[in-house]
Chains A and B, each alone.
Chain A
Amino acid sequence: MSKGLPETRTDAAMSELVPEPRPKPAVPMKPVSINSNLLGYIGIDTIIEQMRKKTMKTGFDFNIMVVGQSGLGKSTLVNTLFKSQVSRKASSWNREEKIPKTVEIKAIGHVIEEGGVKMKLTVIDTPGFGDQINNENCWEPIEKYINEQYEKFLKEEVNIARKKRIPDTRVHCCLYFISPTGHSLRPLDLEFMKHLSKVVNIVPVIAKADTMTLEEKSEFKQRVRKELEVNGIEFYPQKEFDEDLEDKTENDKIRQESMPFAVVGSDKEYQVNGKRVLGRKTPWGIIEVENLNHCEFALLRDFVIRTHLQDLKEVTHNIHYETYRAKRLNDNGGLPPGEGLLGTVLPPVPATPCPTAE
């Protein structure tokens, strides 16, 4: 699959990202009728256009982490999401990999371009999670990695001579893959989400959803939602971070009806009704990945990329990172890390994950 998309798609995508920009005025125009107190047209609404141009020039980075047992289709889904071979499978076409003994963290970065906007996408994979017989504390390497990224950013921020644009390696979104048992969450899922929902934005996803019929799917989703609520696990979009009523209603709808998204991923194309679609071909039919009647992949894609991408980054920066920073500074006595009393150097990031504030 080639990087980037055919041109026809980009305009549609772009128009959803930003509202339709006004054609750039050569000369400031006088509005025809206006009831405000403005005596003339100032032109502050062109800021959006300016921001857009800047973003196009600088590009932005997005770090997504995928967590789940092996074989749940994580790499395939990420490839499908970004319509390119961005997962670790792409780098080494070796399907006969052995399950690693401990959880490894593998980060692979790619630059994707669409409609003139460059995105530096980093996919962080966690092979070995939940695959062993004894999975006690298998989330600790993941928590440690996330905190290390926060620490890196903090160190850069605290520098006297700061870089103009601090490279952002913090994990913005963590897709957690739930196995479609049809009964309920597994204890490991609960433990992982309990520990990590306060540190990173978790988006739970039901993997390989083509094993469940519609009734089973809705029943399973309800049960999962209930279990998460009962255990006090706040997945993204968190209720407490809804800024205004508009956000709240939109997010409520997503939280209570669609999430967790039941997805199917595929990187193969088949012919259906004269169109080439991504799907899975079985003797009893073809499952179309982007058909909303078949699975909710399209909803997940719109959610993560088209509507909430910026919000994911903001929540990570304003809330999770700030929590970490506050904790670090408190432990350090109000001083930035690296500086102690009388200029002594303080110990580095603790090996055990920082206890996060409630």
Chain B
Amino acid sequence: MWTMEGPVKDAEKISQKRKSPLKDEEDKEYVGFAALPNQLHRKSVKKGFDFTLMVAGESGLGKSTLVNSLFLTNLYADRQLPEASARLTQTLTIERRGVEIEEGGIKVKLTLVDTPGFGDSVDCSDCWLPVVRFIEEQFEQYLRDESGLNRKNIQDSRVHCCLYFISPFGRGLRPLDVAFLRAVHEKVNIIPVIGKADALMPKETQALKQKIRDQLKEEEINIYQFPDCDSDEDEDFKRQDAEMKESIPFAVVGSCEVVRDGGTRPVRGRHYSWGTVEVENPHHCDFLNLRRMLVQTHLQDLKEVTHDLLYEGYRARCLQSLARPGARDRASRSKLSRQSATEIPLPMLPLADTEKLIREKDEEVSKRLASPHQGPQSPLKSLPGLARPHRRNHAPHSCAACKRCWRRCRRKCSRARLRASSRTRSEALAGALLHLGPAYGPSPVQSRNPRLPSAESRSSSR
């Protein structure tokens, strides 16, 4: 459901024309696709929206509280926090929680991806790799679904947005923050957030935000860029938009508790002995800005950027790497087997597919031409014992039973057959065993295998 720019503008023009009193003339010009947005709206409302949000950051920065505050639900009711001694050996896990929120008749299926254990242990090297792998797995899954046969009900589990929590206690981004952001900034929309912002005085908040912005620029980390608002928006909206952009990273405070601040109306906030922090007060923190941005204005844009920019980037990279040699290994590693009937291998376009097949066949042929004795399909060479029964030129092998009576079991021993079939290995073994002594290897004189020139030369030297 993409917003269609063209018809909307035309619809406006047509609707303006409708205001004229001459109805008949209007009806001649009025086609009726001005109702398209309404149809889209109805369809999407019926279908519902889904949105995947990832929260990442060290533990204790108020991530769960903020998520609960944003969506006014308690997503973490059953969470159990492990103790420090248990976290010594904990590795990063990825947890997914889903919740369906309905407001004004519109259903949103929100999936929350949590990363408990991030930045917890003493040695946090590479602790972001599971997260990167998770994001890529979602892309891969989508790619597979998109190229699959049944595309009606694709579940979009790609991560649309990642809220990265920065500690208010540090002095800007820590080395771990930089490493994580560098690893994921090309794969997911990042919105940096300063958690527990009530630890900071206003001047400190400004200084920290500036420091973080400078560091992000220095390290060339691409966070999610808000699109510029249209020129025909009203001044108020533009001002709000500019304010919002300036307050990145958002300094937030989360709370689900309602407190009565000394007789005034009840507000959501945190009550201290020296005052009450109001979560929804723009002078206290940027929670409102974050909520407006995330939920009210840019939800759709986040999804679009994920699909148009990040996913397409991933897809292009993936397909490019498949086009290079060694593609077969990659395909097998990504668990796509060409033998499975239900799945079509990447890439899915029929032309590219046949090209790929052709290319692969070419590779095989060239390989076989280059080293003919390596051809595994040759039946004669795989069973030398059968081909030349009177010559003990089968490959030496080292299975215990055969050591005793290697002459007798050369036909039956599967290992012997295997070894014989792969010439390179047998070559190496022959060389090795010859050095060990005649007890272990075939007697050098008898090895008449023309494919083992080294063995022969060695035997002649002996």
Known A136-B122, A179-B60: A184·B273 in contact at CB below 8 Å? no
Contacts A133-B125, A134-B124, A134-B125 given; indicate if A187 touches B169 (C-beta within 8 A).
no
Contacts known (A187-B122, A284-B275); A69 close to B85, Cβ less than 8 A: no
Contact B274 A72 (CB under 8 A): no
Give A210 Cβ to nearest chain B Cβ, in Å.
6
Establish whether residues B270 and A213, one from each chain, have CB atoms under 8 Å apart when the complex forms. Answer: yes
Chain A residues whose C-beta falls within 8 Å of the C-beta of B122 in the assembled complex: 134-136, 187-188, 191
**A280 contacts B201, CB within 8 Å?**
yes
Give the contacts of A2-51 with B (CB-CB under 8 A): none
Q: For B275, list chain A residues within 8 Å (CB).
A: 282, 284-286
Residue contact B274 to A71, C-beta cutoff 8 Å: no
Residue A211 at the B interface, CB < 8 A? yes
Question: With a CB–CB cut-off of 8 A, which chain A residues contact B58?
Answer: 181
Q: Which of A283-312 contact B (CB under 8 A)?
A: 283-288, 293-294
Q: Are A231 and B169 in contact (CB under 8 A)?
A: no
Measured between C-beta atoms, what is the minimum distance from B37 to chain A in Å?
42
Q: Is B271 an interface residue (CB 8 A)?
A: yes
The answer for the CA separation of A231 and B83 in the assembled complex, in Å, is: 11
Most buried by A among B59, B176, B272: B272
CB contacts (< 8 Å) of B42 on chain A: these are none
Nearest CB on B from A307, distance (A): 25
Does A230 have its Cβ within 8 Å of any Cβ on chain B?
Answer: yes
**Complex contacts, B198 vs chain A, CB 8 Å:** 210-211, 282, 284
Partner of B84, one of A207, A210, A227: A227
Contacts A181-B59, A211-B199: A133 and B277 contacting too (C-beta < 8 A)?
Answer: no
Interface residues of B in 173-217 (CB under 8 A from A): 174-176, 179, 196, 198-199, 201-202
Q: A184 to B58: give the CA distance in the assembly, Å.
A: 13
Interface size class of A (residues with CB under 8 A): 35 or more
From A228, which residue of chain B is reached at the shortest CB distance? B84
Q: Which residue of A lies closest to B81 (CB)?
A: A183
For B178, the closest partner residue in chain A by CB is A133
Complex CA gap A95/B172 in Å reads 11
Task: Please name all residues of chain B whose beta carbon is closer than 8 Å to the beta carbon of A186 when the two chains form the complex.
Answer: 84, 87, 120
The residues of B that contact A135 with a CB separation of less than 8 Å are 122-124
How far, in Å, is B16 (CB) from chain A's closest CB? 47
Residues of B within 8 A of A207 (CB): 169
- Quick one: which of B61, B120, B122, B284 has the most chain A CB within 10 A? B122
Q: Known contacts A135-B123, A184-B84; decide if A210 and B199 are in contact (CB<8 Å).
A: yes
Residue A166 CB within 8 A of the other chain: no
Question: CB-CB < 8 A to B202: which residues of A?
Answer: 282-283
Q: Is A121 an interface residue (CB 8 A)?
A: no
Give bound CA distance, A131 to B172, whole Å: 12
Name, among B58, B59, B60, B271, the residue most crowded by chain A CB atoms within 10 Å (CB to CB): B60
The answer to whether B170 has its CB under 8 Å from any CB of chain A is yes
Cα–Cα, bound, A187→B124 (Å): 11
A283 to B31, CA, bound (A): 57
Q: Is the interface of A mostly helix, strand, loop or mixed?
A: loop
Contact of B284 among A189, A208, A284 (CB under 8 A): A284
* Cβ of B376 to closest chain A Cβ, rounded Å: 45
Residue numbers in B under 8 Å from A180 (CB-CB)? 60, 169, 199
**Complex Cα–Cα for A183 and B167 (A):** 15
Do residues B85 and A213 form an inter-chain contact, with CB atoms below 8 A? Answer: no
Residue of B nearest to A139 (CB): B122
Q: Contact check: which of A72, A99, A187 meets B88 at CB < 8 Å?
A: A187
| Per-position 1/0 for A61-103, Cβ under 8 A of B | 0000000011111000000000000000000000101010000
Whether A282 touches B201, Cβ cut-off 8 Å, given contacts A182-B60, A227-B84, is yes
Residue in A closest to B208 when the chains form the complex, CB atoms = A71
Known: A181-B59, A187-B84. A131 touches B201 (CB 8 A): no
Q: Are A208 and B199 CB-contacts (below 8 A) given A133-B175, A190-B84? A: yes
Known contacts A133-B175, A134-B124, A134-B125, A214 near B169 by CB under 8 Å: no
Q: Mark A116-137, 1 if CB is under 8 A from B, else 0.
A: 0000000000000001111110
* Contact A69–B123 (Cβ < 8 Å): no
A281 at the A/B interface (Cβ < 8 Å)? yes
Is B147 positioned at the interface, with any CB of A under 8 Å from its CB?
A: no
For the complex, is B121 an interface residue (Cβ under 8 Å from A)? yes
A131, closest chain B residue (CB)? B174
**Which residues of chain B come closer than 8 Å to A326, judged between CB atoms?**
none
> Closest chain B residue to A224 by CB distance?
B84
Instruction: Name the contact of A184 in the complex, choosing from B83, B196, B199 (C-beta under 8 A).
Output: B83
A133 in contact with B85 (CB, 8 Å): no
Cα distance A208–B278 in the bound complex, in angstroms: 19
A354 at interface by CB-CB < 8 Å: no
State which of B61, B84, B167, B277 has its C-beta within 8 Å of the C-beta of A284. Answer: B277
Q: Are A190 and B175 in contact (CB under 8 A)?
A: no
Q: Which residues of A contact B407 (CB under 8 A)?
A: none
Interface residues in A225-260 (C-beta closer than 8 Å to B): 227, 230-231
* Cβ-closest chain B residue relative to A186: B84
Contact A281 B201 (CB under 8 A): yes
Complex alpha-carbon distance, A294 and B202, angstroms: 19
Residue of B nearest to A209 (CB): B199
B283 within 8 A of partner (CB)? yes
**Closest Cβ of chain A: how far from B268's Cβ, in Å?**
14
Closest Cβ–Cβ distance, residue A181 to chain B (whole Å): 2
Given contacts A181-B59, A210-B199, contact A227 B85 (CB under 8 A): yes
Q: State the A residues within 8 Å of B (CB).
A: 69-73, 95, 97, 99, 131-136, 179-191, 207-208, 210-211, 213-214, 227, 230-231, 280-288, 293-294
Give the 9 A-B residue pairs with the shortest CB-CB distance, closest first.
A181-B60, A285-B275, A284-B275, A285-B274, A185-B84, A71-B170, A211-B199, A187-B88, A71-B169
Q: Which residues of B contact A (CB under 8 A)?
A: 58-61, 81, 83-85, 87-88, 120-125, 167-171, 174-176, 179, 196, 198-199, 201-202, 270-278, 283-284
List 10 interface pairs A-B (beta carbons < 8 Å), by A numbering: A69-B170, A72-B169, A97-B171, A133-B176, A181-B59, A183-B81, A191-B122, A210-B199, A211-B168, A286-B275
Q: List 10 additional contacts besides A180-B60, A230-B85; criterion CB under 8 Å.
A: A69-B170, A71-B170, A71-B171, A133-B175, A179-B167, A181-B59, A187-B85, A188-B122, A230-B83, A284-B276
